[in-house]
Chains A and B, each alone.
Chain A
Amino acid sequence: MFEAVLSKTFSPVASRCYSHGKVETDEEFDARWVTYFSKPDIDGWELRKGMNTLIGYDLVPEPKVLDSALRACRRLNDLASAIRILEAVKDKAGPHKDIYPYLIQELQPTLAELGISTPEELGIDKL
């Protein structure tokens, strides 16, 4: 009954319930977002818009997408947004506590290269 409806409407992210039209694969989706944030002259609005859209999806962004977003923050000299991105993905993971440590592990080289502190290092992860 509901299972049939759910499996059609709740497939991950940007796939709509078209009977025509191709469903985007996860790799295509990730590649599209990496390209979005890789725009050399991306502006602050596009960064915020991109992140807000990305956070609206039913997924936690892949490390490579986040890497691209963090580098965009670097180009914009926006450290605050970079740290905010880390907070946002931690929140996106919700009750799944294994996702955020994995992401930090994968992003460690990028964080070190760009000099981005994690919210935990700054002590702003506690209320």
Chain B
Amino acid sequence: MSLAKPLMRGLLAKRLRFHLPIAFGLAFAAAVAFKYTVTEPRKRAYADFYKQYDAVKEFNAMREAGVFQSVRPSGE
């Protein structure tokens, strides 16, 4: 029983035609997933933090803690 002639040309092309769109799709999906599970929450966290941020109050707290050289705590 003799074997029939198989397909011998363009085998890589055939494989890539199938797998490359999937690869790009998955990579794109991974990027989108990362954006919405990591970067957006992070941006929101920063925005929320700074919405109610009082710079002067924080400065005075740091001043009282004695970490500055230019201004000493109000007590001294």
Contact = CB atoms under 8 A, between A and B. Distances in A.
Contacts of B3: 98, 101-102, 105
A6 B17 contact: yes
B28 to A, nearest CB: 12
Contacts of A7: 17
Interface string A1-14: 11100110011110
B13 interface: yes
Contact of A6 (B5, B11, B16): B16
B44 to A, nearest CB: 33
Contacts, number: 54
Contact of A59 (B10, B16, B21, B24): B10
Interface in A84-127: 93-94, 96, 98-99, 101-102, 105
A59 B8 contact: yes
Nearest to B3: A102
B9 A59 contact: yes
B20 interface: yes
Given A59-B9, A59-B11, A60-B11, 5 more contacts: A1-B21, A6-B20, A12-B13, A96-B11, A101-B3
Interface of A: 1-3, 6-7, 10-13, 26, 58-62, 93-94, 96, 98-99, 101-102, 105
- List 8 tightest A-B contacts by C-beta distance, closest first: A10-B13, A59-B9, A60-B8, A12-B10, A12-B9, A58-B12, A102-B3, A98-B6
